[in-house]
Amino acid sequence: MLKFVFLSVLLLAGGVKGQDDEFLYDVFPPDFQWGVATSAYQIEGGAFADGKGLSNWDYWSHNGSYEGHCNVRDCQNGDVGGDSYHKFREDAALIKSMGADFYRFSLSWARIVPTGRVADGVNQAGIDHYNEVIDNLIAEGITPFITLYHWDLPLPLTWDGSWLNEDIIEHFKDYARIVFENYGDRVKLWLSFNEPHVFCFADWTYAYLNPFNWTQPVKPYICSHNILKAHALAWRMYDSEFRPTQGGKMGITLNCDWPEPLDPANSAHVEASDRSMHFHYGLYANPLLRGEYPPIMRSLIDAKSEAEGRNESRLPSFDAEWTQIVNGTLDFLGLNHYFAYKVVPDDNNESIWVEGDANIHIEPDDESWNHTAVGWPITPFGIRKVVKWIADEYNYPIYITENGYGHWENDTFNDPIRVEFYKQYINNVLRAVRLDGADVKSYTAWSLLDNYEWASGYSVRFGVHHVNYTDPNLTRTPKASAMYLKVVFADNGFPNATRTD
């Protein structure tokens, strides 16, 4: 009875198509694509298998740095993880049973090029492994969508300065060539980098390891500059040498949460939100689509650098040649999105973090917002707003490459909050497409299965499939959210109230 009352309310609420805050019953365009995602270090295991080199994360997860403490919660590492290195066929069967169109996964650079430098040799066993993964996906009717770099860097390159050392640009290009040569006949969707803003800014654990301390405010911008050059060279190489015969597409994926103005009626607050978007998303999208950093970043960081008594701006510039190389090197824009946060303008923020440079301040979450078990805001309106901002600013195809819900390890098979999360977030993507006219081509749930959540180890579960880490078989079991997504994927959205309520 209660369920009936609830359903009726929903039906009534959903009946008026197009109103801003109401659930929209409609479908996505017919060519819309659905997928699930993972990354190599988070699921593969096989850390020392078959000639693979060590990565920054193999080292980082095994070594402590904070006064003898482990870097990762409970000293956990990805040595075995979900063992997808051996269980990739099982994983593909899960993807198939969800009815997903594609699988977004990343390659371990060190598995293919053990030292990171192609001149030192490539690892045929690593190349063969991914050939099997790709062939198996295709045999199951799943499109492979490959990320070249999802944070695991060959260790020798890490000791060499990681993304702060310009030499890495050519090493990345050489690695990309090996990848396109070996897999490009069957793989048509590529991402160069996953979330450079995270590994360049957020925490040196993801990029540099000691002694490369991120706290100097110039390093995130040097890292980003080198990422942009590396992306551009790889894209140009793909475009001229591989695309003519292989015919695929290559983008980059950028993390971007939504800066909600504290007072949306106050234009200064709206401008603060806009600045935050330029400093997070525009930092990469603008150079790749327009050949230069967002003008607001240029003027603010140049002025601050001068005031700090520096001879040159902390934000590097592209010379004429690099401007030409970098400009126009995207086939689509990738977006990873999880939550919203509240911003206000703040001209006196001295923080060396993005807020200081962007003249903004982050306020506490709105009292009305719910949070995930691990404390992230649940703000489905944010995905619509962030997509609309990107669409308005760049008018370019958008692939949503990550979105999902994390829970502590006591997550169960019955995960109604995750189900509701997906329902509301995907509906807001639908509204961005149908009501705001955004050109969103695809949606990807993070993640196919529970995995190694970086510095949180296995304590946080993002999967729509549960992995039993205490069972030697690492058994995977679908959660209710996997079954829910299966219905949304099959329906291509929410054609009516009965299927997904």
Q: Which residues are catalytic?
A: 195, 402
Q: Virtual CA dihedral for 268, 272, 274, 279, nearest 10 degrees?
A: 160
- How many Cα atoms occupy the beta-carbon half-sphere of 463 within 13 Å? 31
# residues near ligand GAL by CB under 6 A: 12
Per the structure block, which two tokens stand in for 11?
A: 């039906």
**Rounded to an integer, what distance in angstroms lies between the CA atom of residue 208 and that of residue 457?**
19
Closest approach of ligand GAL to the CB of residue 296, in Å: 25
Selected binder of ligand GAL within 195, 331, 365, 450 (CB under 6 A): 195
Closest approach of ligand GAL to the CB of residue 179, in Å: 19
Closest approach of ligand GAL to the CB of residue 205, in Å: 13
Closest approach of ligand GAL to the CB of residue 418, in Å: 13
Q: Which is nearer to ligand GAL, 32 or 454 (CB)?
A: 454
105 binds ligand GAL (CB under 6 A): no
- How many Cα atoms occupy the beta-carbon half-sphere of 305 within 13 Å? 17
Q: Which is nearer to ligand GAL, 61 or 305 (CB)?
A: 61
Q: Which is nearer to ligand GAL, 30 or 375 (CB)?
A: 375
85 binds ligand GAL (CB under 6 A): no
Closest approach of ligand GAL to the CB of residue 39, in Å: 5
Per the structure block, which two tokens stand in for 350?
A: 């001295």
**Rounded to an integer, what distance in angstroms lies between the CA atom of residue 162 and that of residue 156?**
9
Q: Which is nearer to ligand GAL, 230 or 325 (CB)?
A: 230
Write the single-letter amino acid at 68. G
Closest approach of ligand GAL to the CB of residue 367, in Å: 24
Selected binder of ligand GAL within 331, 402, 411, 415 (CB under 6 A): 402
Closest approach of ligand GAL to the CB of residue 71, in Å: 16
**Rounded to an integer, what distance in angstroms lies between the CA atom of residue 115 and that of residue 148?**
16
Q: Which is nearer to ligand GAL, 42 or 108 (CB)?
A: 42
Terminal Cα distance for the chain, rounded: 14
Q: Which is nearer to ligand GAL, 402 or 415 (CB)?
A: 402
Selected binder of ligand GAL within 453, 474, 481, 482 (CB under 6 A): 453
**Rounded to an integer, what distance in angstroms lies between the CA atom of residue 99 and that of residue 106?**
20
Tell me which residues in 249-278 interact with ligand GAL (CB under 6 A). Answer: 255
Q: Which is nearer to ligand GAL, 415 or 453 (CB)?
A: 453
Which H or E element spans position 251? strand 249-255
Per the structure block, which two tokens stand in for 266?
A: 């106050």
Q: Which stretch binds ligand GAL (CB under 6 A): 83-91, 185-193, 194-202, 357-365?
A: 194-202
Q: Which is nearer to ligand GAL, 26 or 453 (CB)?
A: 453
Q: Which stretch binds ligand GAL (CB under 6 A): 85-93, 193-201, 377-385, 408-416?
A: 193-201
**Strand 102-106 with 69-70, pairing:** unpaired
User: Which 3 state secondary structure label does DSSP give 46?
Assistant: coil
Q: Are 145 and 101 in contact (CB under 8 A)?
A: no
Closest approach of ligand GAL to the CB of residue 399, in Å: 14
Q: Which residues pair with 370 in a beta bridge?
A: 378
Tell me which residues in 28-67 interact with ligand GAL (CB under 6 A). Answer: 39, 42
Q: Which is nearer to ligand GAL, 195 or 274 (CB)?
A: 195
Tell me which residues in 430-449 interact with ligand GAL (CB under 6 A). Answer: 446
Q: Which stretch binds ligand GAL (CB under 6 A): 51-59, 71-79, 192-200, 391-399?
A: 192-200
Q: Which residues pair with 93 in a beta bridge?
A: none
How many other C-beta atoms lie within 10 A of the C-beta of residue 18? 10
Closest approach of ligand GAL to the CB of residue 324, in Å: 30
Per the structure block, which two tokens stand in for 143?
A: 């499109």
198 binds ligand GAL (CB under 6 A): yes
Closest approach of ligand GAL to the CB of residue 243, in Å: 26
Q: Virtual CA dihedral for 469, 472, 474, 475, nearest 10 degrees?
A: -120
Residue with tokens 């190349």: 127
454 binds ligand GAL (CB under 6 A): yes
CA distances from 100 to 146, 182, 286, 445, 448 (A): 15, 25, 31, 10, 10
Q: Which is nearer to ligand GAL, 127 or 426 (CB)?
A: 426
**Rounded to an integer, what distance in angstroms lies between the CA atom of residue 187 and that of residue 135?**
10
339 binds ligand GAL (CB under 6 A): no
Smallest Cα–Cα separation from 281: which of 227, 334, 231?
334
Residue with tokens 């890490």: 158
Q: Virtual CA dihedral for 487, 489, 492, 496, nearest 10 degrees?
A: 20
User: Which 3 state secondary structure label does DSSP give 23?
Assistant: coil
Burial class (CB in 10 A: 0-12, 13-18, 19+), 494: buried
Per CB under 6 A, residues contacting ligand GAL are 39, 42, 194-195, 198, 255, 336, 402, 446, 453-454, 462
